[in-house]
Every structure is written in C-alpha cells, then in structure tokens.
Amino acid sequence: MSTEVENCAKRRLAFQKTYSQEMGGWRKRSLIDDAKFETLANQEFEKRERKISNTEIAENDDVFAQNGGHPASPKPESVVITSYVIKLKEGLGSVARILKLFENTKTTLLHIESRQTRTKGRTFELFLECQGSKDTLASITNALHQHPVVQDGSVTVVGEKTPNKKELWFPRHISDLDKCTHLLTKFEPDLDYEHPGFADKEYRQRRKMIADIAFDYREGEPIPRIDYVQTEIDTWSHVYRQLKNLHPTHACSDYQQNFEMLERECGYSENNIPQLQDVSTFLKRKTGFQLRPVAGLLSPRDFLASLAFRVFQCTQYVRHGAKPDYSPEPDCVHELLGHVPMMADPTFAQFSQELGIVSLGAADADIEKIATLYWFTVEFGLCKENGEIRAYGAGTLSAYGELKHALSDKPKVLPFDPDVTSLQEYTDDDFQPVFFVIESFEEMMDKVRQFSSRIKRPYEVHYDPFTQCIQLLNSKGMLHQLARNLHSELDNLQRAIDRIHNVTIN
C-alpha cells in the first residue's frame, strides 16, 4: 500500500474517534452496530475531506490571482493508469532509452517487467504500467510508436483504467496487525456510566493496566501473563460452573471435545483462568490460529482483517464481579470459554479465516454484511446434530441465560441463508430474538463462499501461510506461481488417492 493510502487510513480512523464523540458515542453491543457506525463515519469523513480539498483549491486560486494570474477555472486533467506491452528489437540496453521518454513528465511508473519474446527479430518484450494525465500518456504513446528501438505495430496498449481514489488500507503482513488496534466503540468503565465497574476505582485502574499491556504488545512477542486476583478468579469460576453444566445438553459435540482438550492441555479449570500464551500455543498446533492481546472492542475492519491471518484478537481483562452473568463488552471469560474451543476445530477455523480474507478491501456496505454474517454464525450460530439443535456460537456458549434461551421455544429459528442472514436486523434490548441454524459446517462454508464470490473488489487476494503475507492476485506472474503451487498439491493428493486405492484392491 502506498504511503498516501496509509496516511488517509490514519486520518479516517482519527476522524471516526472524534465523530463518535460528536455523536454522543456509539456504544452498542454488536459487531453489526460497529460496522454500521463505521459506514456512517466514513461517509461523513468523505464529505469533510472533499470540503477541505475544495477549500485548499480556492485558497490556491486566491494566491495565484494575487500574484497576477487567474483562478484555476479549467477542470484538472483526468488521471489514468495505462499499461503497455512493447516489443524491442535490441537488447536490454534499449530499455533505458525507452524510460527516458518518461523523464521530466508528471508520470509515475508503477510497474516495469521484461521477458524474452518468441517473436522473430525482437529479443525482449517490455511491460510498463504508468499513471499520469490522459493527455500526457497519449503523447507518450505516440512517442513510443515512433521510437527508433521500437518498430511500427510493436506497441500495444493492454489496459487503461482510472485509479481508485478510495483505495482502502489493509494489513499485508501479519506484523501490520500492530496497526490494527483501533478501538472505535469502547465500553470502558470510566466512560460508560452503565458499566458495572463505573463506580469502582480499583477495577478501573486494573482495567487500564491490562489495556496498556495490549497496546504495548507487538507481533512476535510472547503474550504477557496476567496474575489474576481472587475476585477475578471467583467471577471466572461462577461462569465456568454454570456453563459446564449445560455443555452435555446444549453445546455441539465439536465444542465439547475441544473443551475437554483445553482442560487437559491448557489449564482450563473452575479455579484457574488460562493464560493467553498457553492457549495460543495450543491453537497454533491444532489449526494454525493464534491469539493476540487486545485492549477492547476493535473496529470491524481491524477485527475481521486479523482473522485473515488466523489471528484472533483476545482481551485479558475479566468482567466486573458485581454482574458475573453479564458483560457489556467482550472479556476473556467470553473469549476463552466461547470462542477458543471452536477455533480449535479445523473446519471452523478455515471458515473464520475466509470471512476475514473476503473483508480485505471490501466496501463499507459489504463490511456490514460480513459483520452480520459473523454475528449470526461465529457469535450466535446454531447447528443440527443427530436430529437436535445445538449451539456453536461464542455469544451463546459463554452466557448461561443466552444459552438456555437459544435452545428454548422462545426465539425464532431460521435456516441459514447468507443472502437473508447478512441483512438480518439486530436488536440488543434483550436475548437474541432470531437465530440461524446450519445443517453442517461444510454446508455453511459452501454457502458463504458462493455469497463471497459476489462481493465486488478490484482484486482477489491470497494468504501465503509460509510468509504470513496477503498477496494481491493482480498479475500473471502471481497467478502462474499460485497455479504451480496448487498443481504440486494436487499431484500429492492424487498419489495419496492412488496409494489408498491400491491398498484397498490388494
């Protein structure tokens, strides 16, 4: 991403925080409401950016007029990106002569690539991608056709497009998650008078201490350990006992199996709050997911983007003991008891990552839909199991009252359909009034993949687990490399199938 795009992203996020205060806060309970707020804030940000830009143009016109000139009445030249394929009859030394055409022009060379060509009489083929005014690039095109190292008919314009002025920054490497720590909707106890810890000065100070640990954390560091005090352990114990009694009758089998493993391997117990580093190591071994400490509720884009790298942002603080069965925000009780057991399931982990990947660079309206899908699956999803309905969503599995309500006859239960689910309205006045039930995780993944394929983006992206990078699939070279890797994997798979088939026959 360019520095200009990243700087714009920083200005946008700073504005969102200010706008939240101007609007009296936007402290809702769901990722859906956060996404809707972000859409409104982005729209207002665009309006104010345009207003600032227009003001700057007017001021420049005034200065120009004061110096004896005239205001800039003509419209600015339209900027385009043009791509060329140029066949050269000389060696690579002629490339320098071609590039001289771009000197002293307000043109940016975005990409240069050379390769040998099979065309008789020409030794190299040059690919150039340039950005500049339409008139300037038209002049360069004419000059290329007349250049002595290029013969007639050897210059091909393979594409022309308008640069995307609303290009959104998103993390490209897992270390970029250090920049994805924007808390747009906080329920901090010293700001929200409805928070159970609002009047508890000691609790507020401890929350700030734990939040500072998360803010100071950087990718690759061991997650700092928290020495939990007895009041926090008592709150954890209360929730732990209540929920575990409901597991056999309310939780899906995958959740129960993984929960038992967490008890054996990560210190999950009624009287012990597990440390994030231990749980993260466990998850990394099981599904490649890892935990990262976070200070509170993240912006939807930041949170979803983290999932693309198989990173789950997890709080370390514990809800206030005055209301152990209720928390106005995610806390480690919700995340360790609700989210982590399902993150240890390979299929569910893959589903979570794919939701994160499809969010990268998506428009605000699509972020709202993705956040809504996340809410009614990962947070409050139900599934069918042996003819019965069970819970797999973290919001239900970490709240005693919500879990009993979800499997009662009170809420409306609908079949999962991404086109319907992504538009479902959400209310936070009471327990969830609507739930969506899936037949299986595999079917849910297939449906969401079909839904995701209709989300329009200027590019497709791919996550490389070896480099922990997001790759833009916007060049032939990148596509060929990915195809070769997939071909190798398919060959390996075919050999395994053949071996099993031969063993079965013999």
402 is catalytic: no
- Please, are residues 213 and 316 in contact by the beta-carbon 8 Å criterion? yes
- Please, are residues 318 and 232 in contact by the beta-carbon 8 Å criterion? yes
CA proximity to 99, closest of 33, 158, 135, 149: 149
Residue that is written with structure tokens 């538009």 in the block: 423
Please pick, among 94, 125, 334, 402, the residue that the annotation labels catalytic. 334
What are 161's two structure tokens?
């497009």
Residue that is written with structure tokens 């899906």 in the block: 252
Beta pairing class for 412-415 and 434-438: parallel
Separation between Cα atoms, residue 116 and residue 92, nearest integer Å: 10
Please pick, among 94, 352, 398, 422, the residue that the annotation labels catalytic. 398
Separation between Cα atoms, residue 377 and residue 372, nearest integer Å: 9
379 is catalytic: yes
Q: What angle do CA 400, 402, 406 make, to 5 degrees?
A: 120
Please pick, among 38, 232, 379, 402, the residue that the annotation labels catalytic. 379
Label residue 158 exposed, middle or buried (CB < 10 Å: 0-12, 13-18, 19+).
Answer: exposed
Separation between Cα atoms, residue 118 and residue 11, nearest integer Å: 49
Q: Residue 189: phi, psi to the nearest 5?
A: -65, -20
**What is the radius of gyration, based on Cα positions, of the chain?**
28
Please pick, among 30, 339, 359, 368, the residue that the annotation labels catalytic. 339
398 is catalytic: yes
Q: What angle do CA 451, 457, 458 make, to 5 degrees?
A: 150
- Dihedral sign of CA atoms 165, 170, 175, 179 in order: positive
What are 144's two structure tokens?
């290329």
103 is catalytic: no
**Annotated catalytic sites, by residue?**
334, 339, 379, 398
